[in-house]
Amino acid sequence: MLYQKHNSVGNYTFEAIVYDNFNFVLHLHKHHELIYVLEGEVDVEVENRIETAKQGDFALILGDHAHAYYTKNHSKVWVAVFSCDWVGKFNSMVNNRRGTSSVFICDYGTSKFLVDNLINRNDYSVLELKAYLYTVCAEYEKQAKFIEQRQQGKDLFHKILEYISEHYKEPITLKQIAKELGYEEHYLSRCFHNNIKMNFRQFINQYRVDCAKDMLLNGGRSISTIALESGFQSIRTFNRVFKNLTGTQPRSYIES
């Protein structure tokens, strides 16, 4: 799982882009993420739950929720990442809660309004953008069922993730991170598990494999180079961990 620092900082940030055949490895950031499927369909994974979003569907992924996207055949998807302060009231309503579904649909009138004014435009004013985002969040809130999900030590957890994102190529340990951040190792271990339901070793292996998968798909590097640039100390370890987490060898992953 990748940690996106650039999508975790800044006030009143909003960025939208259209992707063809949208695929993105498991990642996490503080900002909310909204998608609208223009063509085809895409599988949306959020917190180990996978749903299929089809043409005309929306999906809203709340901040601090690990998520990924997979296209099997074809998709064209509009994706927007926006900071939580755009929708402050909504953010306070969903704090420490998780929707049991991320994908939702809007009635024809609301959907047309959002497509015409939010998705097909980029010249909106601050007040207009705030209104459009609140409209999306209101539709999501009406349809989603929520369960309590208290995450303790969010700020510390993000500090841990930020440190990992900057040092994952090195042979780092949780003890080392605890020393750097000024905490006891067992406290960081508990914080880690409470927020991500993984231990540190599982997470760092997954993080490095996800980095490797991205480089493998983009090409231009040898497998041995990718292994080292992903933080693995040997090709043998890289192949073993990659196979354990993906079910296939790196070379087979490229060919598939």
Q: Are residues 9 and 136 in the same domain?
A: yes
Last residue of a domain, one of 128, 148, 168: 148
Distance in angstroms (rounded) separating the CA atoms of residues 82 and 223: 35
E-strand spans in the chain?
Answer: 2-3, 14-20, 24-28, 32-46, 49-54, 58-61, 67-70, 75-82, 97-99, 103-104, 146-148
**CATH number, domain with residue 159:** 1.10.10.60
Owning domain of residue 130: 2-148
Report the pLDDT value the prediction gives residue 155, as an integer from 0 to 100. Answer: 78
Q: Are residues 16 and 82 in the same domain?
A: yes
Q: Are residues 122 and 239 in the same domain?
A: no
Overall domain count for the chain: 2
**CATH number, domain with residue 102:** 2.60.120.810
For the residues 214-243, what does the mean pLDDT come to? 90
Whether the Cβ atoms of residue 85 and residue 11 lie closer than 8 Å to each other: yes
Q: What is the pTM of this model?
A: 0.75
Q: Are residues 73 and 176 in the same domain?
A: no
Q: Are residues 131 and 27 in the same domain?
A: yes
130-185: pLDDT as tens digits: 999 999 999 999 998 887 766 556 778 888 888 888 899 999 999 999 999 898 99
Report the pLDDT value the prediction gives residue 196, as an integer from 0 to 100. Answer: 74
